[in-house]
């Protein structure tokens, strides 16, 4: 920009050229978008921490529903266990490796396991367990006595791979306190398959 006065040309170095103004506007736009994206990511991360988490499956006790190494989305916000749910649970607050098991019975319900027939009864009704890896054959040395009534504020959990699962059938493990349930497995993030967790109830 220049101005003419008394025949002289004066350049105003304080004023920016059109290209400079366009570049400055573009950088401001990029900055605002980056600021917005960082803010959104922060909010999402807080919500993810409060409401759900992503965990990796460790071990084969939930075959064929879940494979070791699967990435699972676990929902935890105000969750209350229901029969048939797959839950992530610890045995205490110090556990480094939470377990993934299926809810077989809730407090007050009675469980009976028949290894000869390969069936599980809850309150006298045989469960339809088409999600099992194979028929149950291995009764543990520390098997609980059936029929077994689930204590108050507890759940009876079993793995889908019954012959390779350490779960509530073992008296050394027993039922799990609902306070130590960290959430419900709701979706397989990786690898995605046609038969997802919702189909295995």
> Can the peptide bond before residue 31 be classed as cis, meaning omega within 30 degrees of 0?
no
Active-site residue set: 61, 101
CA proximity to 56, closest of 69, 47, 65: 69
Helix (H, G, I), strand (E, B) or coil at 35: helix
Query: Rounded distance, CA 83 to CA 125, Å?
Result: 13
Query: Rounded distance, CA 55 to CA 188, Å?
Result: 10
Tokens representing 3?
Answer: 């101005």
Tokens representing 111?
Answer: 């469980």
Q: How many CB atoms lie within 10 A of CB 136?
A: 22
Name the strand (E) or helix (H) holding 120: strand 119-122
């Amino acid at each position: 920009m220049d101005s003419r006065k008394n025949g002289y040309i004066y350049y105003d170095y304080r004023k920016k050229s059109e290209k400079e103004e366009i570049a400055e506007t573009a950088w401001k736009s990029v900055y605002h978008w980056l600021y917005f994206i960082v803010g959104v990511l922060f909010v999402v991360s807080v919500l993810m921490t409060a409401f759900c988490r992503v965990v990796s499956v460790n071990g084969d006790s939930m075959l064929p529903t879940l494979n070791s190494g699967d990435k699972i989305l676990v929902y935890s916000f105000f969750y209350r266990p229901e029969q048939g749910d797959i839950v992530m649970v610890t045995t205490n607050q110090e556990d480094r490796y939470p377990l993934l098991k299926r809810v077989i019975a809730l407090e007050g319900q009675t469980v009976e396991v028949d290894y000869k027939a390969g069936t599980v009864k809850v309150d006298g009704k045989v469960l339809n367990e088409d999600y099992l890896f194979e028929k149950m054959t291995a009764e543990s040395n520390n098997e609980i006595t059936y029929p077994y009534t689930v204590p108050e504020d507890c759940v009876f959990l079993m793995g889908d791979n019954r012959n390779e699962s350490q779960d509530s059938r073992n008296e050394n493990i027993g039922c799990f306190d609902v306070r130590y349930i960290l959430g419900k497995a709701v979706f397989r993030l990786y690898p995605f398959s046609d038969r997802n967790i919702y189909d295995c109830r």
